[in-house]
Chain A
Amino acid sequence: MGVMDDPLRRPSDAEVGAALQQNEVMGGPVRLPGGIALPVQIERVLGFGRSFSFWPLLFGLACCAIEMMALGGSRFDMARFGMEAMRASPRQADGMIVAGWCTIKMAPRVVRLYEQIPDPKWVLAMGSCAVSGNVWDTYHVVQGIDSLIPVDVYVPGCPPRPEALWQGLEMIRDRVKQSRHAYDGLRRIPAREVLLHGEPRP
């Protein structure tokens, strides 16, 4: 369990490769039931298809959620890239737009929602609050959602305009096409590890 020893150390590529074989870490190519990786061409085709079918979780925390809804509205229309099918259940979502500040009360739920999304998944931190905590440098706010879950794209702004979120989603789509995830090479279910074993309690 070499990768698991030190939670703060980035593992080397070789370690990640070994851990991938044993299904200890996340990411990597799509696997068939026998553990056989798909050829890269098929992976590309899948990625291309997936990039047009990125369904975010219907989940808003604060102000930014309203701008996220505006992106789904008529003027911006995220449906053009097949993203309008926002799923209310994390089981059917492909990613998460963390829209708003995350408090320590909400943090375990955000992590839980993230974990409930099946792989492959992508996370977009929308708004300064999700990126860094914004002005809410107080006793009850998590200073940046990336301390809890691996984030793919950061969109700063308070709140970001829908166009900015759109650019962020385009960057997510690029990552989808290339099958790159923020959690590549990380231990399986990293956030829960932190919540359970990180000191003190959540």
Chain B
Amino acid sequence: MSGTQDTQGLVPAAQALSRRPSLEELRERKDRTRRHLEPTGDVMTISMGPQHPSMHGVYRAVLDLDGEVILAVRPEIGNLHRGVEKLCEHRTYHQIIPLTDRLDYISGFAMNHGFCEAAEKLMGVEVPARGRYIRTMTHELCRISNHILWLGTSIMDLGTQTFFTICFRDREYVLDLFEMLTGARMTHSFARIGGVAKDLPDGFDHRCRKVIDFLPKRLAEYERIIKQNRIFLKRAKNVGIFTSEDCHAWRVTGPTLRAAGIARDLRKDEPYAAYPEVEFDVAVEYNADVYDRFLVRMKEMRESCKIIRQCLDKMPPGPFLAPDAAHSLPMKKNVLRDSAAMIQDFYQVFRGPQVPRGSVYRCVEAPKGEMGVYIRSEGGAKPARVRFSTPSFYHGQAVPALVEGEMVADMIAIFASVDVVLGDCDR
């Protein structure tokens, strides 16, 4: 990868370590860094969570400790379970969209997008070019806001709060763009079946360019802070090694998998929206530790800026919603002018889309990992079964495999580095 050049550390030690280890080497390294202790009987059990400052929500992990070393972890999730999937069976496809962005509320649009992609695959709706570009751009803005938030909170978990507020400062700029585009800061409900809800507002292009010109400078600053901080290197290097085979076995995807040396990115491998038409590199690192997960995400944010810039450059004219009267809503600006659009609006709102029978599974690359949506339709406006196989659900499951044998402080770092959000996990 030519792109790995700029992620090489400024610190000599980081350079020495950034050569690619083989899978065997990683396995051996993982074996070496974890402490294999036999339970001696003096086991201290502490319950971390649901209310714990670094459990990123309400994850609960019951830890068996020998001193500070973790012998076993028993995860408990479900504290935010609210039956989204059951609720989806009682909602039409259009009404499901607002439910989806409360799954992973930090990257709400990615969830909207995943559901709409699946529904469109089922219904056979073709999204017009402008809709695809707006989706791609919003998805990448989402990725940036997610990763910045993640960066702030995970470094806070390592012990400094300054970084946290600094990251929030920059996240606000992205949220401003969201507010301009969708009207909401976090839960956008912006995607529609067949496109997006609204066109780009006036002046968005200019403001968005300003933000994405400015962000990489800030990212470079953050990266300098990370890479030159010896304590951070000590805390993050060779900690929480999770090889690619572990990742496959536990369905750990996204940045964690890419940090293990697998260049898997659904944006490239199973392209959707406008991703085939923009150029970007897949961020890959090879050491599979916490540090490399940091690097992968830092690089992904840069790539996202690149994608957004290309989307803005190439933004095609035309409709942003599919002119598909059977499945998608009409463009709102037409509803009050055009009787056909008005009828379509009434029809879609009161009856819902008319969907063929069948089942479909579609994955998109959400910021946290691969987000799959399974829809089984029995015809009609409501799905018969919806399943969101969200990344955090599996990442939360993999926590015992990730942290057993590490120390308590490392568990915090590792848990932060796989990025679990509980709304996503519990559904």
List A residues at the B interface (Cβ < 8 Å).
Answer: 57-63, 65-67, 69-70, 72-75, 88, 90, 100-101, 103, 105-106, 109, 113, 135-136, 138-141, 158-159, 161
A4 to B40 CA separation, bound complex (whole angstroms): 50
Q: Which residue in A62, A90, A138 is a CB contact (below 8 Å) of B102?
A: A62
Q: Judging by beta carbons under 8 Å apart, are B168 and A109 in contact?
A: no
For the complex, count residues of B whose C-beta is within 8 A of A: 34
Q: Is B409 positioned at the interface, with any CB of A under 8 Å from its CB?
A: no
With both beta carbons as reference points, the residue of chain B lying nearest to A86 in the complex is identified as B53
* Docked CA distance A69–B56 (Å): 12
B residues 74-120 near A (Cβ < 8 Å) are 78-83, 86-87, 98-99, 102, 105-106
Query: What 9 pairs across the A-B complex have the smallest Cβ distances?
Result: A73-B168, A63-B105, A74-B169, A138-B83, A88-B53, A136-B82, A106-B79, A75-B172, A141-B82
Which of chain B's residues has its CB closest to A110's CB?
A: B51
Interchain CB contact (< 8 A) of B81 among A66, A74, A140 = A140
- Contacts known (A67-B185, A159-B187); A62 close to B87, Cβ less than 8 A: no
Contacts of B224 in A (CB 8 A): none
Question: How far, in whole Å, are A113 and B50 apart by their CA atoms in the complex?
Answer: 11
Residue in chain A with minimal CB distance to B108: A63
Q: How many Å lie between the Cα of A59 and that of B79 in the bound state?
A: 13
Residues of A within 8 A of B53 (CB): 58, 88
CA distance A63 to B186 in the complex (A): 8
Write the chain B residue with the least CB distance to A77: B165
Residue of A nearest to B98 (CB): A135
The reply to whether A161 and B185 contact each other, CB–CB distance below 8 Å, is yes
Cβ of A139: which chain B residues have Cβ within 8 Å of it? 83, 86
A26, B168: Cα distance in complex, Å: 39
Bound complex: CA A62 to CA B105 (Å) = 8
Say yes or no: B57 contacts A140, CB within 8 Å: no
**Contact present for B168 and A62 (CB under 8 Å):** no
Inter-chain contact A69/B105, CB cutoff 8 Å: no
B166 at the interface (CB under 8 A from A): yes
Residues of A within 8 A of B79 (CB): 61, 103, 105-106, 109
Complex A-B: 24 CB contacts under 8 Å? A62-B57, A63-B187, A69-B153, A70-B172, A70-B175, A72-B165, A73-B169, A74-B172, A75-B168, A88-B52, A88-B53, A103-B80, A103-B81, A105-B81, A106-B50, A109-B51, A135-B87, A136-B83, A139-B83, A139-B86, A158-B187, A159-B186, A159-B187, A161-B185
- Complex CA gap A10/B86 in Å reads 38
A66 to B106, CA, bound (A): 8
